[in-house]
Structure 1
Amino acid sequence: MKKTIAGIEIPDGVMAQAATAQIRGTESELIFHHSLRAFLFGALIGYRESLTFDAELLYVAAMFHNVGLNVKYHRSPYRFEVDSANAARDFLRRHVVIDRLIDEVWTAIALHTTPGIPEHMSPLVALISAGVQMDVRGARYDDFTAQQCDEIVQAYPRESGFKRKIIEAYARGMEHRPETTFGTVNADVLDRWDPNYRRLNFCGLVLGSDWPN
């Protein structure tokens, strides 16, 4: 049976159901609900702006976008976004999605925390970032009606203290690989979370390089 929230149908095809089952079984309720809200906010933006996108692929990308924060990746040498994108790619290959679309989902997830780039790419890439940024930091908050926000939050609640808890979830997913935060918003997370964290500075790297001048 189709479920519609704020005018958006939640995909319920075989692939979407498999993604839901996999993510529900591996992520906290906080992250799971955040992923669903990110899909809904992204889809609302897409339909409002008359963009052409595949809702099921948007849903899968939203489901997987934070997988790389899971404990199994804590020793990974990659940014958590890359681990998330790789997990989505493996999932989509099992469901025999064509390579071009897999690459688009990979890019959408890998770039979802990179400011200033996704909105200039394909609708799927732009909408994943927009949906996530709306739910996490309220980007474009005034573009949504109070009724839309209420319906989404009633269906998939933001836990009490969500702002603090989502920062903690990001931090715990990256604190074992702080070097991966260089040049990203993730550095802000560890800077606030870990008193011993020291940011790498691009200018310092340039001036301290082995080049003689």
Structure 2
Amino acid sequence: MAEIIAGIRVPDSAMARAATQLVRDTEDDLLYHHSRRVFFWGALTGERKALAYDPELLYIGAMFHDMGLTQRYASDNLRFEVDGANAARDFLKGYGIAERDIDDVWAAIALHTTPGVPEHMRPTVALVTAGVEMDVLGLCYHDFTGEQRDHVCRHHPREHNFKESIIDHFAEGTRRKPLTTFGNVKADVLALKDPNYQRLNFCSIILGSAWPT
């Protein structure tokens, strides 16, 4: 039986099922439920805006978007978004997905914390970020009906004080590589959660470079 939540059908291909199982085996409950909600918010946004999106690609992008926060997929020196994007790319290559589609999923994950850019890109990229922004930041919250929000959260609840807990997850995923937060929103996370964190300043880097003038 196909799983339908808030009117959105969850992709049920062998690839989608494998992705679900991989994420379930890798992430904790909070990240798993968050990733599933991101898919539903993104899909509902696509339906509302009448976008021609690929539900399966959106699903992979949503499910992998925080994999870089896990010990299994975290690198020592890359942004966690890039780690997740690389994991998704390797996964998709095993299923013979077209290179352009793989690139879209990669960009969707790599850019999902870079506001102001994804919304102008192809639907897979735009909708993953839209889903993340709804679930984490509450952007466009009132563009969804109460019934949609309730139905999604009934199946994938926002438990364990999600707002505080997701910030803690971000902090744990970036604390060991603080330089990867330069120029992105995770600098705010470490500024809040790590008393030893020193935020880099863009202008100071320019003024302190090796160029004489």
TM superposition score normalised by structure 1: 0.98
Match runs of 1:162-181 below 5 Å: 162-181=162-181
Match of 1:11 in 2: 11
Q: Does the Cα contact within 8 Å between 1:75 and 1:177 map onto a contact in 2?
A: no
Task: Show structure 1 runs of 5+ residues with no match.
Answer: none
Q: Does the Cα contact within 8 Å between 1:60 and 1:88 map onto a contact in 2?
A: yes
Deviations 1:81-103 (A, max 9, x none): 00000000000000110111101
Count of matched residue pairs: 213
**How has the CA–CA distance of structure 1 residues 24 and 97 changed in structure 2, closer, same or farther, with 3 Å as cutoff?**
same
Match of 1:204 in 2: 204
Match runs of 1:94-105 below 5 Å: 94-105=94-105
Match of 2:43 in 1: 43
Cα distance in 2, alignment partners of residues 75 and 107 from structure 1? 18
Cα distance in 2, alignment partners of residues 46 and 121 from structure 1? 13
Task: Show structure 2 runs of 5+ residues with no match.
Answer: none
Shift of 1:32: 0.2
Letter in 2 for 1:133: E
Q: Does the Cα contact within 8 Å between 1:74 and 1:174 map onto a contact in 2?
A: no
Match runs of 1:58-69 below 5 Å: 58-69=58-69
Deviations 1:110-145 (A, max 9, x none): 000001000010011000000011001101101011
Deviations 1:155-180 (A, max 9, x none): 00001311000000010011000000
Match of 1:71 in 2: 71
Structure 1 counterpart SS, 2:26: coil
**How has the CA–CA distance of structure 1 residues 74 and 54 changed in structure 2, closer, same or farther, with 3 Å as cutoff?**
closer
TM superposition score normalised by structure 2: 0.98
Cα distance in 1, alignment partners of residues 42 and 191 from structure 2? 28
Match of 2:122 in 1: 122
Give aligned-pair identity as a percent.
56
Cα distance in 1, alignment partners of residues 164 and 52 from structure 2? 35
Cα distance in 1, alignment partners of residues 136 and 58 from structure 2? 17
Structure 2 counterpart SS, 1:125: helix
Cα distance in 1, alignment partners of residues 158 and 78 from structure 2? 29
Letter in 1 for 2:140: R
Match of 2:189 in 1: 189
